[in-house]
Chains A and B, each alone.
Chain A
Amino acid sequence: MRLLRSLPVPLVAALAAVGAWHAAVVAFSIPAYLVPPPAEVALRLLDDWRQLGFHAAVTLAEALGGFALAAVFGVLAAAILVWSPSLERAVMPVLLVIQTFPKIALAPLIVIWFGLGVGPKLLISFLVAVFPVLVSAIVGLRSVEKDMLDLARATRAPAWRIFWRVRLPFALPHIFGGLKVAVAFSVVGAVVGEWVGADRGLGYLLLWANANLDTALLFAILAWLAAIGLALYYAVEAAERLALPWHVSMRGRDLPLGT
């Protein structure tokens, strides 16, 4: 009991979940092709670590690429739109349509157009990840109080300096909120891209495991995907901590998923 109490809560919860999983499989004699016991999944993770690691690296690279494109393009586009109200009026309705459109439905078309290489995966990953960044960056860049901007204008600073020293820093907390969503989306995009046509990556492996009813491998792949998602999320959060110590300290004890 004392040992249990000294462990961090999330770890205890995870252990409890695995225990419950094992108990359920045994108690209800669930066949392994439906839900394999945790031990079997763990074995697959160990035995096939080379194969899993290779495909995970492929998916991770695609997701990172899509995410990086989304981050850069999203913030740039938001800056341009906030800069020019007339352009924003023209572009916003179009963006709204694209925003509500399920981007992953474009995946087959993208594969037809661009083939089976890495490019289409990056593109799909980018497409799903860019909107959270774009929208949060627009909101963030607009969130600066009018008085603050007036104060900056009154110093007769050039517009680019006002953008760089006032607008962008004020927008960063919002932008990081969007980046945290985007980084998870980028993995979704990469996996969907692999589903549509690929010969490598966790998405490809997932389909293979599915076709072969290799449920233990399926679970192992899901574990990898979960790990990749978490790692990316925490990487963005660490970057936020570095970039915005003032904001993180102000926010105090937030929920880890609070954006």
Chain B
Amino acid sequence: MSAHIQVRDVTKRFGAMTALDRVALDIGRGEFAAVVGPSGCGKSTLMRIVAGLDTADGGDVHVGGRPVAGPHPGVGIVFQSAVLLPWKTVRGNIGFPFEMGGVDPRPHAARIDGLIRLAGLTGFEAHLPHQLSGGMQQRVAICRALAPDPDLLLLDEPFGALDAMTRETMNLELQRIWMESRKTVLMITHGIAEAVFLADRVHVMTARPGAIARSFDVDLPRPRTAETVEDPRFRRLVREVRALFGGAIGLG
């Protein structure tokens, strides 16, 4: 079976600057892939091309065997900021993909209820975004991405704006959600430890021009827990990834 996502020699230029230089990447169905790299190396650009929100100047992307030529169905996206509609309740925001797609959300009410429970948002369904903490807003964003039951989840530094404590909790929750649903995940982050902790495979990008330097398989057992962080294999992987940046990247 071919990979769920196939990125072949994708090149992207902004004017004279080459943001992505022949990036190649395969992500299997149900795989959790992470892309790490320093800021500005083209991670978001890569994700936007996979989502069909931007076009490549060279190479191509296939999702589920089909070439990507624009936004395609079955994709849930979470950005660094929750970008919720401030005038809609938690429930209304989670229903956003249905509303925009012109789909009646009522048949999906049970799923949405399940997601709300899974994300620990029970009791907050009628709250407006500004009444929620940053972590809760981001959980709403994740529920919104999952609401139409997509095959593919694209996460662009989804916890980058959160404090370290909340971030760790969210990582554990994301793993739990992923283990229950087994969706294909492409998560972008600049946190090396976060990538190794969550992913089946970590792709390391370098900057100028953006390219994949190396990919690592992470065969740590699931579910990964607080003990995983103490595991020598985990520590070795983090060290190896970090070495690729010449120690230029700090903690994370």
Contact = CB atoms under 8 A, between A and B. Distances in A.
Nearest to B103: A155
Contacts of A247: 86-87
Given A154-B75, A156-B72, A244-B87, 20 more contacts: A145-B83, A147-B80, A147-B81, A150-B48, A150-B51, A150-B77, A150-B79, A151-B77, A151-B79, A151-B83, A153-B53, A154-B51, A155-B71, A155-B97, A155-B100, A156-B71, A157-B102, A162-B100, A169-B85, A247-B86
Contact of B85 (A166, A244, A250): A166
Contacts of B97: 155
Interface in A26-72: none
16 contacts: A145-B83, A147-B83, A150-B53, A150-B79, A151-B83, A151-B96, A152-B100, A154-B53, A154-B75, A156-B71, A246-B87, A246-B130, A247-B86, A247-B87, A250-B128, A250-B130
Interface of A is mostly: helix
Contacts of B247: none
Interface in B94-123: 96-97, 99-102
A168 to B, nearest CB: 11
Contacts of A165: 99-100
In the complex, which range does the number of interface residues on chain B fall in?
A: 20 to 34
A249 B89 CA distance: 14
Nearest to A246: B87
Given A145-B81, A165-B99, A165-B100, A154 B86 contact: no
Nearest to B154: A154
B73 interface: yes
Contacts of A155: 71, 96-97, 100-101
Interface of B: 48, 51-53, 70-73, 75, 77, 79-81, 83, 85-87, 96-97, 99-102, 128, 130
Interface residues of A, number: 21
Given A154-B53, A156-B73, A246-B128, A161 B100 contact: yes
A106 interface: no
Nearest to B75: A154
A246 B86 contact: yes
A150 B154 CA distance: 13
A76 interface: no
A7 B196 CA distance: 65
Contacts of A207: none
A243 to B, nearest CB: 10
A148 interface: yes
Contacts of B75: 154
A147 B80 CA distance: 9
Contacts of A153: 53, 71
B86 A250 contact: yes
A246 B86 CA distance: 7
